[in-house]
């Protein structure tokens, strides 16, 4: 539970306007569905010394201190001044979402060379109700405020965090704050127009929500699907006040999935769409991706007063073969083979073949027919 009243430490991770890539990390944090794995990384010189010392080097045994640790991901708007002693000044902080840490390590111990990696499961959004989150964060961060982009400290009160069922409205509240007005590159003052979609969930044909699973050996989340089935990916959209038409495209491995309609023209900041796709019949289980990306016309991109910031997300999916249908197919072949063999045997036996034996032949052919009909109905 995220509660300041206990002694459980929380991991704070900052995305920022230090570069376009880090602003995109912010967009992806907002876009990813609950229970998907996200990844942040920092040079060691930018994280808290205490945290750095506790991180294992990759390949070493995991530190139990970080097991299931709560994570708070925020966007940091900072001002850069080359002439100041402290070049980077923290100006405003926007907490975005909570999470659960799955893995954390560093590549070595050199501050200017080695990198700290954090893999965490995304959870709920923060709920904006005119709070001054910068002041709250300053209190929570204590001595880390203004210098460390990843640190350990006590978590936020639960009252600031939305329940799962309120995530959509909480996301809209974040978007309606002035966060997008702070999407300005700190060094070169480039102003961005972010094109945001958010992934509500993935459902099967019966409307059941499919939750992402976690692969610890590669620190990735994935959706486990069955071949020959249809699924629905629910998306919502949002963009800043400056009106701009853009489209969302859904693509994937054409040998693994079929997408009848893969494009949505976004004409409203509150568009919603449910993309249908079907997994194909496979020769073996396969791990692949569904990619979701935003696009605008080239002339619009060049003429817009802000730099367009497109979002491109890949959702790993594992498609598993339906072994039960392959067993049915094998049984049908066995039924056909035995039935045909018995007919051949009747010719060999001649008068010794009894009329009642034909019922056995009929039975095996009936097994073959029923199984083939079952397979045909499944494949459509």
Q: Give the pLDDT confidence score for residue 220 in this predicted structure.
A: 92
Residues 100 and 229 in one domain: no
CB proximity list for 16: less than 8 A, separation 6 or greater: 22, 23, 75, 76, 77, 78, 149, 186
pLDDT digits 0-9 by tens, 172-231? 999 989 899 999 999 888 999 898 999 999 999 999 999 999 998 889 999 999 998 999
- Average of per-residue pLDDT across 286-299: 88
Q: Give the pLDDT confidence score for residue 242 in this predicted structure.
A: 66
Q: What Å distances lie between residue 367 and 184, 337, 380, CA to CA?
A: 68, 11, 20
Residues 161 and 178 in one domain: yes
**Alpha-carbon torsion (114, 214, 61, 151), positive or negative:** positive
Confidence of residue 14 (pLDDT cuts 50, 70, 90): very high
Q: Give the pLDDT confidence score for residue 352 in this predicted structure.
A: 83
- Does residue 5 carry a pLDDT above 80? no
Residues 226 and 139 in one domain: no
- Does residue 296 carry a pLDDT above 80? yes
Per this entry, what is the length of the chain? 380
- Reading the block at residue 196, the tokens are 């945001």
Angle at which helix 20-31 crosses helix 167-176, to 10 degrees, equals: 150
Q: Which of 123-127, 170-174, 212-216, 374-378 shows the lowest per-residue confidence on average (mean pLDDT)?
A: 374-378
Give the count of alpha carbons within 13 A of 331, CB side only.
16
Q: Give the pLDDT confidence score for residue 379 in this predicted structure.
A: 63
The structure's pTM equals: 0.85
Confidence of residue 3 (pLDDT cuts 50, 70, 90): very low
| H or E element, residue 37 | strand 37-43
- pLDDT mean across residues, the chain: 88
Residues 32 and 159 in one domain: yes
CA distance 168 to 174: 10
What's the burial of 54, exposed, middle or buried (CB within 10 Å: 0-12/13-18/19+)? middle
Confidence of residue 2 (pLDDT cuts 50, 70, 90): very low
Q: Give the pLDDT confidence score for residue 223 in this predicted structure.
A: 95
Residues 122 and 231 in one domain: no
Strand, helix or coil for residue 344: helix
What's the DSSP call for residue 161?
A: B
Q: Which domain holds residue 328?
A: 323-379
Q: What is the CATH number of the domain that holds 279?
A: 2.60.40.10
Alpha helices by DSSP H, listed for 55-143, are: 133-141
Nearest-CA neighbor of 63 among 25, 121, 116, 140?
116
Q: Give the pLDDT confidence score for residue 320 in this predicted structure.
A: 92
- The residue whose two tokens read 């506790």 is 54
Count up the domains in the chain and report the number. Answer: 3
First to last CA, the chain: 48
- Reading the block at residue 139, the tokens are 């209190």
Cβ contact 77:92 at 8 Å: yes
Helix (H), strand (E) counts: the chain: 7, 19
Residues 366 and 235 in one domain: no
Last residue of a domain, one of 189, 224, 244: 189
């Amino acid at each position: 539970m995220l509660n300041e009243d206990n002694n459980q430490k929380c991991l704070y991770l900052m995305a920022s306007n230090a570069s376009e890539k880090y602003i995109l990390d912010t967009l992806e944090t907002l876009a990813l569905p609950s229970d998907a794995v996200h990844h942040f990384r920092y040079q060691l010189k930018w994280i808290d010394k205490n945290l750095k010392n506790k991180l294992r080097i990759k390949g070493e045994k995991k530190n139990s201190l970080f097991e299931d640790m709560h994570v708070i991901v925020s966007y940091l708007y900072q001002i850069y001044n080359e002439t100041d002693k402290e070049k980077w000044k923290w100006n405003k902080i926007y907490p975005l979402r909570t999470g659960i840490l799955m893995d954390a390590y560093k590549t070595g111990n050199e501050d200017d060379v080695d990198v700290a990696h954090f893999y965490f499961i995304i959870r709920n959004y923060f709920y904006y109700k005119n709070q001054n989150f910068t002041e709250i964060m300053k209190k929570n961060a204590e001595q880390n405020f203004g210098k460390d982009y990843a640190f350990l400290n006590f978590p936020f009160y639960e009252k600031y965090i939305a329940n799962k069922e309120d995530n959509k409205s909480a996301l809209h509240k974040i978007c309606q704050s002035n966060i997008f007005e702070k999407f300005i590159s700190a060094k070169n003052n480039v102003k961005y127009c972010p094109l945001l979609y958010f992934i509500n969930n993935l459902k099967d044909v019966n409307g059941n929500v499919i939750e992402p699973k976690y692969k610890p050996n590669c620190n990735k989340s994935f959706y486990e699907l069955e071949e020959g089935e249809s699924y629905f990916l629910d998306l919502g959209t949002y963009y800043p006040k400056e009106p701009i038409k853009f489209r969302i495209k859904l693509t994937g491995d054409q040998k693994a999935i079929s997408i009848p309609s893969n494009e949505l023209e976004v004409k409203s900041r509150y568009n919603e769409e449910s993309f249908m796709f079907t997994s194909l019949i496979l020769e073996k289980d396969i791990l692949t991706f569904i990619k979701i990306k935003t696009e605008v016309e080239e002339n619009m991109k060049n003429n817009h007063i802000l730099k367009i910031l497109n979002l491109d997300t890949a959702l790993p999916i594992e498609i598993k073969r339906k072994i039960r249908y392959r067993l049915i197919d094998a049984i049908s072949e066995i039924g056909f083979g035995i039935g045909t063999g018995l007919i051949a045997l009747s010719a060999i036996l001649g008068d010794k073949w009894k009329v009642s034996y034909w019922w056995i032949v009929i039975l095996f052919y009936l097994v073959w027919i029923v199984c083939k009909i079952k397979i045909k109905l499944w494949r459509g």
